[in-house]
Structure 1
Amino acid sequence: MKKIKHLGTLTAIASLALLLTGCVQRTKSGKPYGIIYDYLAVPTQHIMNWIASLLGGSYGWAIIAVTFIIRMVLLPMMIEQSRKATVQQEKMAYVKPQMTAIQKRQKEATTNEEKAAVSQQMMSLYRDNGISMTGGMGCLPILIQFPIFAALYAAIQYSPELASGTGSLFMGFSLGKPNLILAGLSFIVYLLQGWLGTLGIPADQKKSMMSMMIVSPLMIFFISFRAPAGLGLYFFVGGIFACIQTLIIYLYRPRIRASVEAEMKKNPPKVVVPPAPVTPAQPKTTTIAQEHDENRKRNAGKQQHHK
C-alpha cells in the first residue's frame, strides 16, 4: 500500500512540474497565450492586482493573501482527507499479523500462479477490512490544487508588474526572479511538515514514510528554485498551513485511535489468511553416546558420595 501511495504522490508532483512548465506558449514576439494563461493566469493576475492595490501596491502581501484564502478554503477538505488517512493507518495495525504472513508468502512465491494468488489475498485483506489501497488520501486534494498551482505559476511568471519590477520587491528580493532563500525555506517547512506527520504512528509505518518525507520537499525545492520567487513564497506560506493541518490531526489522533479501537471490538478484523505461526523453540536433542556419558558421570558422583 505504501509503495502505491508513494508512487502516486511522486507521479502527481512530477506531472505538476510538467504542467507548470509546458502549458503556456509564446508568440514570436514573446507574448504568452494558451488555455492556462488565458483562462487561469489572466484572472489570477487581475485578482492579485486588485489585492495589491488594497495592500499598498505590495505583490508579496497580495500573494500571501491569495495563499491564505486558498488554504482556508481547502483546509476543511484537507483535514478530512488527513483524518481518513489516519483512520487507515490505525486499521492497518489490526491486520499487521496477516499482512506479515502475506508478505512472507510473497517472498517465498516462485511461480506466477503463486504470486497472483498472494496478490489476490492482499487485495482481499484490504477489501474485507475496509482499508484503502491508497491510504485513504485519494486524488481529489491534488487534482483541486493543480489548476491553482498552474494559475499562480503562470500569473507570476508572466505578470507585467513583476517582470517590470513595479511592486515586485518584497522583503529585499524580487518576486519575478528565482530565489534560493525562498526555495530553501519552502524545503525546510515541508520537511518539518513531513516530520510532524510521523508523530504518533507505529515505528514500522514511520520507517516506510521516511523516503517521502525527504522526496516531496526536494521536489518542491526543485520547482521553487526554477520558478519565480513569488511561487516560492506561495509554497512557503502554504507549507506553514500544511504544518498546522498536520498538528491538528496529531492532536486529534488519540480520539481517532479510540474510535477505531471501538469499531474493531464491535467488528473484529476479517481473517483472510492466518497470521504467520511463531516457530517454537527446538527441544534439546542428545545422542545415545552423550546420554551414556552423562549417566556414567552421575554414577561416579553417587559412588563418591557414598564413600
Structure 2
Amino acid sequence: MESFVHPFAEGLSLLAHLLGGSYGLAVVAIAVAVRLVLLPLTLRLAEQGWHRQQRMRALQPLLDALRERHAKDPLAYARAAQALQKQHGITSGLGGGLLVSAVQAPLGIGIYAAIRQSVAAAGSFLWIPRLARPDFLLALAVAALTYAAITLNPAMPAQMKTALQMLPVLVSFLMVWHLAAGLGLYWAGSSSVNVLQAALLRRRVGTRGIDAL
C-alpha cells in the first residue's frame, strides 16, 4: 500500500510547493483537476441518463398496461418490460457508470491516503486553522455545494427534490464534519465540479419541461 500511495504523496507535496507551500490549495487543485478530466465522460453519461429517463417516462403507460396484464406473474412482467425497453433502445446504462467508478476508485484511494499522510504536518488554509482537524464551516460549505448540485440536476423530478436532496446533504455534512479538513477540502473541490456538471447538464437538455417532471 505504501508503494501505491507514495507517488500520490510526492505529487501532492510538489504541487503544494509550487503553490507557495499551501497544502490546502494543492488538495483543492487536485480534486478539481481530477473531476474536470473526467467531466466530459460523466457529463455525457448524465445526459444519456436524462434522455433514458424521458424515454422511460414516455413508456410508462405501456409498462402500466403490462403490469396489469401480468399482475399475477411478476417474472412474466419483468421479461415483458425488459423486451419493451429493448425494443425502444433503452438500456440500463450501467457500463459507463462502472467505467467511471473503475477510474475514480484507485485515484480516490491514492489521493485520500496521500492527503491523510500529508495534512498531519500541514498548517492553515483560509479560515481553517489546522488541516488535520475537522472544520464545521467547511462541512457547511460542502453541504451547500451538495444541495446546489442536486437542485440544479434536471434528472430529478421537482416533486421529489425536497424529499431526496436532504439525505445526501446531511450525509455530506456529517462526513466532512468528522474528517480532517484536508480530506474535506478534496470533497469540496469535487463537489464544486458536481455543481458545474449539473449546471451544464441543465443547459444541455434545456429547461423546457424540467419543472414538470
Distance 1:145 1:210 in 2: 29
Alignment-derived partner of residue 190 in structure 1: 146
Alignment-derived partner of residue 32 in structure 2: 68
TM-score (norm 1): 0.60
Q: Say if 1:82 and 1:137, in contact at 8 Å, map to a contact too.
A: no
Give the 3-state SS of the residue equivalent to 1:175 in structure 2.
Answer: coil
User: 2:83 aligned with 1:131, yes or no?
Assistant: no
- Distance verdict in 2 for CA 1:212–1:60, change over 3 Å: same
What aligned pairs does 1:242-257 form with structure 2 within 5 A after superposition? 242-254=194-206
Pairwise CA distance, 1:95: 0.8
Q: Say if 2:154 and 2:202, in contact at 8 Å, map to a contact too.
A: no
One-letter amino acid matched to 1:168: G
- Distance verdict in 2 for CA 1:182–1:56, change over 3 Å: same
Pairwise CA distance, 1:137: 5.8
Distance 1:209 1:136 in 2: 26
Instruction: Write out per-residue CA displacement over residues 38-95 of structure 1, whole angstroms, 9 at most, x where no aligned residue.
Output: 30x2211111111111111110111122122212211111111112112212212321
What aligned pairs does 1:8-19 form with structure 2 within 5 A after superposition? none
User: 2:167 aligned with 1:215, yes or no?
Assistant: yes
- Distance verdict in 2 for CA 1:196–1:255, change over 3 Å: closer
Pairwise CA distance, 1:224: 2.1
Distance 1:52 1:168 in 2: 12
Distance 1:82 1:97 in 2: 25
Pick from 38, 42, 61 the counterpart of residue 3 of structure 2: 38
One-letter amino acid matched to 1:76: P
- Distance verdict in 2 for CA 1:92–1:145, change over 3 Å: same
Pairwise CA distance, 1:135: 7.4
- Distance verdict in 2 for CA 1:148–1:136, change over 3 Å: closer
Alignment-derived partner of residue 45 in structure 2: 81
Alignment-derived partner of residue 191 in structure 2: 239
Identity value in percent:
25
Pick from 99, 105, 114 the counterpart of residue 140 of structure 1: 99
What aligned pairs does 1:274-293 form with structure 2 within 5 A after superposition? none
One-letter amino acid matched to 2:125: F
One-letter amino acid matched to 1:170: F
Pairwise CA distance, 1:252: 0.9
- Distance verdict in 2 for CA 1:102–1:229, change over 3 Å: farther
Pairwise CA distance, 1:129: 1.4
What runs of 5+ residues in structure 2 fail to find an aligned partner? none
Which structure features the higher share of helix residues?
Answer: 2
Pairwise CA distance, 1:208: 5.4
What runs of 5+ residues in structure 1 fail to find an aligned partner? 1-34, 258-307
TM-score (norm 2): 0.84
Distance 1:123 1:134 in 2: 14
Pairwise CA distance, 1:255: 10
Q: Say if 1:81 and 1:136, in contact at 8 Å, map to a contact too.
A: no
Instruction: Write out per-residue CA displacement over residues 106-146 of structure 1, whole angstroms, 9 at most, x where no aligned residue.
Output: 7xx34xxx111111122222222111235786322223221
Distance 2:175 2:133 in 1: 13
Bigger radius of gyration: 1
Q: Say if 2:152 and 2:198, in contact at 8 Å, map to a contact too.
A: yes
- Distance verdict in 2 for CA 1:47–1:189, change over 3 Å: same
- Distance verdict in 2 for CA 1:131–1:206, change over 3 Å: farther
